[in-house]
Structure 1
Amino acid sequence: MQDEPTPTELVKAVADFLRNDIAPLLSGHQAFKLRVGINALDLVVRQLTQAAPAEAAEQVRLKEMLGEDGALLELNRVLASRIADGSVGLETAGLKEHLWQTTLDKLAVDQPNYASYKREAGRGRDDA
């Protein structure tokens, strides 16, 4: 079994190489396409390092709020169904906080440089 470098380290090394050594050599459309590729590699690194803990926390919140056990996808289906039938709404204890935290966690992976995310992520829970 190969332990090092990890997949995360490999992807990060490729992104860093492209960003630091290749990007300065390109211009125009080729530079743009390279930046798109680097952004995709950076996204993969964030998915590998941040998505699993965020999804585990989301699953725990859903289990507590719904009073059910299950896989994350199934719990989200139950939540969506209950919202659709009106048995769960923003007045439901924990729903608003769950939706907000889930949104922030997903933005941390998908769009960490998004200005609104940066602003909200920097706020304390009591500020919201």
Structure 2
Amino acid sequence: MAQPHDAPTAAELVAAVREFLERDVLGSLEGRTRFHGLVAVNVLGMVERELDLGAAQDQAHAARLAELGFADDAELAAAIREGWLDGRYEELKSALLDATRDKLAVANPSYRS
């Protein structure tokens, strides 16, 4: 938990709200309100996964960028547009696939293959 905060952690708070919505609220909702409740539950799940995985994913992404020779995504995107990585297809493909897998692990793990 981040200092100076006490328990519960941000992750625990988000989980509690998500569980409350799933168990106690969604069953009584209909139509558009139910749809928005489902969206809220999904968003809270994403926040939980990002809180859990984010630091490690950030480090892994920074390492991938560094291996390619870039400081951030903007530099990488510019290099791709300019064709600077045309001879490094497999290396670039691997880095982009890993980044996409990390994004899916947060957005919707069921999409991962």
- Report TM bin, short chain: 0.7 to 0.9
2:84 corresponds to: 87
Following superposition, which runs of at least 4 residues in structure 1 exceed 4 angstroms of deviation? none
Distance 2:82 2:34 in 1: 49
Q: Which runs of 5+ in 1 are unaligned?
A: 121-128
Distance 2:22 2:39 in 1: 11
Number of corresponding residues? 110
1:76 corresponds to: 73
Report the Cα offset of residue 99 of structure 1.
0.6
2:101 corresponds to: 104
Residue 61 of structure 2 aligns with an amino acid whose one-letter code is E
User: In the TM superposition, what whole-angstrom CA distance separates every residue of 1:67-111 from its partner, at most 9, and x where no partner exists?
Assistant: x5x4xxxx2222112212212126345211101100111111112
- Report sequence identity in percent: 36
The structure carrying a bigger helix percent of its residues is: 2
2:5 corresponds to: 2
Q: Which runs of 5+ in 2 are unaligned?
A: none
